[in-house]
Amino acid sequence: MFDTVTSARALMGMARGFHIVFATIGIGLPPLLFAAEGLYLRTGKEFYRVMAKRWAVATAVLFAVGAVSGTILSFSFGLLWPSWTEFAGGIIGLPFFLEGFAFFTEAIFLGLYLYSWDKLSPRAHWLCTIPIAVAALGSAFFIISVNSWMNQPTGFDIVNGVVTNVNPTAAMLTSRAFPYEFTHGALAAYVAMGLGIAGVYALAMLRGDRSDYNKKALMLGLGLAAVFAPLQVVTGDLSARHLAHRQPEKFAAMEGQYATEKGAPLRIGGIPFPNDHETKFAIEIPKLASFLAFEDFNAEIKGYDSFPPDEVPNIFLAHFPFQIMVALGFTFVGVSALFWGHAWWKKRIDPPRLLLALLVAVGALGFVAIEAGWFVTEFGRQPWVIYHIMKTSGGATSRDGIWVLLIVFGFVYMALTAGMAGVLLLQQRGRTQTPRAS
């Protein structure tokens, strides 16, 4: 079976990969609740209120499953990474503590939102979506600060092998990676959720239901995606530029740049060939990687081969997910522009079947992009669990038998997924007739 470190990494990766979907939904849905109920208050059209109610039920179900997966994930730190916890706990433990407050704030206001439709005034009920959205974003803020710290650790000194001058607030807030990771991650959640909602209602329209309800829901989803998708591309560029300066080995792996080179080309696609120390079959745009990274067409890009072999990430696990993420990011911008361009041209929301089919496909791909970005972040940092301080092999538990937990929790996650899907399907079947415009 797998060795201990591989099993620990696989179990942690499975837990994070599962949980990140629910974290994304938790961040992305509240703005849509805010928009739908706000439109109901403004227009008086009942289908907006029904829309908000249905999305609120889905939010509650997904929040509950996310709470379970998040609890499992939090226990995994102590179980799988005791050396990491011992070293980092006193430095970066503060955001874990604060994330608990954000979580409970979100839970309180979500419960209030679900059960007070006829108890609060319409305006007060609508305003409950604001603390839900802020708390969800706050949870992301605190957790991403931990990941940022792992990529660019700060807030402490090491003197003669001993950690001193610990400043937990600085560790949480002053990592140079944090502004890029947080903005990119938060915007990714909004884009993925907007596209996901759009995909659901595009499918309903493909099946023949072109009611105002479905058209308006589609409009809200694509509105969220259209606002944030271009910003997502910009933050992605800034993130890559940061990596070129601060984690050059990760940047080289992402770009498939084997040799140190001045005026390095930007590679689109391509397959790395380690034996030949070359990335082949890529579309190369001369000097563009150097310009994007350093604003200089002749700037030097450090190559993958210029770093010690035991201090570089797996080039395949960094390059391919990065290419997928970038390609999907530009796809989302293009599809959003196509939808709104068609709506502007026709003066109404009534997309043709081909565009609806495209929206259905893109609705699922938003979450693929989220997972690809997570792959780039995590695999690109390897072999370090704390960059240039602690290797992943040194942070993992020394206990045997972790592969058993990997199998057990694999079944747990499958059961959670099946149960969640069942509840959502039952809720879908129990819906009343799609409301019409009034």
Is the separation of the CB atoms in 277 and 258 below 8 Å? yes
Q: Please indicate, yes or no, if residue 97 is contained in any of the structural domains.
A: yes
Q: Which helix (H) or strand (E) holds 272?
A: strand 266-273
Is the separation of the CB atoms in 240 and 255 below 8 Å? no
Is the separation of the CB atoms in 431 and 54 below 8 Å? yes
Strands 162-164 and 157-159 turn out to be antiparallel
Distance in angstroms (rounded) separating the CA atoms of residues 142 and 127:
24
Q: Please indicate, yes or no, if residue 295 is contained in any of the structural domains.
A: yes
Q: Please indicate, yes or no, if residue 136 is contained in any of the structural domains.
A: yes
**pLDDT averaged per 10 residues, the chain (length 438):** 77 84 88 94 91 88 80 79 89 91 92 91 93 94 94 92 91 94 94 93 90 91 93 93 94 94 93 92 93 92 93 94 94 94 88 92 92 93 93 84 76 76 62 50
| 232-285 pLDDT tens trace | 999 999 999 999 999 999 999 999 999 999 999 999 999 999 999 999 999 999
Domain around 144: 4-429
Q: Please indicate, yes or no, if residue 437 is contained in any of the structural domains.
A: no
The amino acid present at 340, given as its one-letter code, is W
Inter-axis angle of helices 315-346 and 178-206, nearest 10: 50
Is the separation of the CB atoms in 377 and 371 below 8 Å? no
Domain count, the chain: 1
| 36-77 pLDDT tens trace | 999 999 999 998 999 999 889 888 888 888 887 787 777 777
Q: Please indicate, yes or no, if residue 206 is contained in any of the structural domains.
A: yes
pLDDT confidence of residue 70: 80
Distance in angstroms (rounded) separating the CA atoms of residues 224 and 181:
20
Q: Please indicate, yes or no, if residue 436 is contained in any of the structural domains.
A: no
| 85-103 pLDDT tens trace | 889 988 999 999 999 899 9
Q: Please indicate, yes or no, if residue 357 is contained in any of the structural domains.
A: yes
Structure tokens at 319: 């390059």
Q: Please indicate, yes or no, if residue 435 is contained in any of the structural domains.
A: no
Residue with tokens 């890029």: 180
